[in-house]
Amino acid sequence: MNYEFVVLPMGAVDSPAEVLAYVRTQDGQPVDEQLRRFVVAGLQLWNSRVPAAYRHALLHVEAAGSSVRVTAADRADRRRHRGSAVDNAATAVRGLIEGLISGSEYQLYDAANNTLWPPRRIE
């Protein structure tokens, strides 16, 4: 199992259960320019700074339409790759993504916790 996160527009879904269906609707569409310039570019910068000895810490990024799906290695991968980078992958990657979308109209789905961040405000 890997850590999985999805960036999607605020209010695109009403609950975490709808996230994967929303991602499927975005398949094949060109990536939203704001997502490409800020989120995808930030994730690619992360990957470009991963030392060769820690290639297992690379993020797998799938972007389409108004969604970006990010997969990071988990502790199970540590059996194949020694290093503490794997232990803290979820926390570090989540923090990175939260920073990239902070102040924008996007939210983050965390599959491990089955949560959306920031929570949708009901008015």
Q: Would you say 109 and 16 are in contact if contact means Cβ atoms under 8 Å apart? A: yes
Structural contact between residues 4 and 33, judged by C-beta atoms closer than 8 angstroms: no
Q: What is the pLDDT along the chain (123 residues), one digit of tens a residue?
A: 578 999 999 999 999 999 999 999 999 999 999 999 999 999 999 999 988 888 878 899 999 999 999 998 765 455 555 554 445 578 889 999 999 999 999 999 999 999 999 976 655
Q: Measured on CA atoms in the order 72, 104, 106, 120, is the torsion positive or negative? A: positive
* Residue labelled with tokens 């199992």: 1
Phi/psi for 48 (5° steps) reads -70, -20
